[in-house]
Amino acid sequence: MSVARRSIWFWPLLAFTIVVCAFLIVPVGMSMLAGVTRNYFIGIDSGLTLEWVIKVWTDYRHTILLSIQIALACLVCTLLLGVPAAYALARANNAATRVIEELLVMPVAIPGLATALALIVTFGNWGGFRRSWLIILVGHVLFTLPFMVRSVLAVLASIDLKSLEEGARSLGASFTQRFFGIVLPNCRAGIVAGSLMVVTLSIGEFNMTLLLHTPLTPTLPVGLADAYASLRLEVGSAYTLIFFVIIIPLLIALQWASQPVNLARSALERKPT
């Protein structure tokens, strides 16, 4: 872009971009501030307080802990199911695997409400399962699994897995040795990015969870919706503030980890091993 052209278009475009950015970021800042303001209607002059945050922590701590528990369990499940699946898909890479890939993505493509209703009409009579947090976990695993598989698959597709493995096999490495010695270290970047995505999505999942939860198993987003509907703005804001404190570091880590450059670089760095 030449200097002359920049002088005409640059500033309006920059202004437009800044307005869009403000649209996204200003409400985040406002709600964080509202969560520590004594009376939001009066404004910041009413003073800052941690009263609302403490109230949320006292009343809703169980939702936060349950969400973290589900997210970690979901991570374990997607790692155990997704990484081997991605490896198998990368190795086979034919028409059948593409159909399987398509199917795996379906729970992301169709609305969470439909998936949740399908689980409820099918397992609604399995009292113990229906009432426990495990049915929520199942929903989250279905929804997040494609992200793990795709993330790992993207890294595996960028390296010459076959040659690496054949080299190792010719030196006498068993399948287990190859899987843990070559495959896993090579797709580490994909596993990290996939894991961050899985945890972030699981902690924030609402569409399915609202139908799948019971009064005994409310998660963080379900509690948030409850607080928004029934409590004063400051409490809803304080709750959102706690949510942001959990989710924003994950999102920042995700931005770093899923940069294609980083993925490619870490794949390259590890290639000679």
Exactly one of 63, 115, 195, 266 binds other proteins (CB under 8 A); which one?
115
The 189-208 site mask, x for binding other proteins (CB under 8 A), equals: --------x--xx--xxxx-
Q: Is 117 exposed, middle or buried (0-12, 13-18, 19+ CB in 10 A)?
A: middle
Does 39 contact other proteins by CB under 8 A?
no
By CB under 8 A, the count of residues binding other proteins is: 88
Q: Is 226 exposed, middle or buried (0-12, 13-18, 19+ CB in 10 A)?
A: middle
Does 92 contact other proteins by CB under 8 A?
yes
Cα distances (Å, whole numbers) of residue 179 to 172, 250, 265: 13, 28, 21
**Nearest distance, CB of residue 270 and other proteins, angstroms:** 21
Q: Is the alpha carbon torsion for 153, 154, 157, 161 positive or negative?
A: negative
Exactly one of 71, 240, 266, 267 binds other proteins (CB under 8 A); which one?
240
- Residue 40: DSSP 8-state: T
Q: Name 39's bridge partners.
A: 43
Q: At what angle do helices 3-34 and 233-257 cross, to 10 degrees?
A: 140
**Nearest distance, CB of residue 273 and other proteins, angstroms:** 22
Q: Which range touches other proteins (CB under 8 A), out of 52-60, 158-166, 231-239, 263-271?
A: 231-239
Exactly one of 211, 246, 253, 264 binds other proteins (CB under 8 A); which one?
211
Residue among 49 and 93 whose Cβ is closer to other proteins: 93
Does 109 contact other proteins by CB under 8 A?
yes
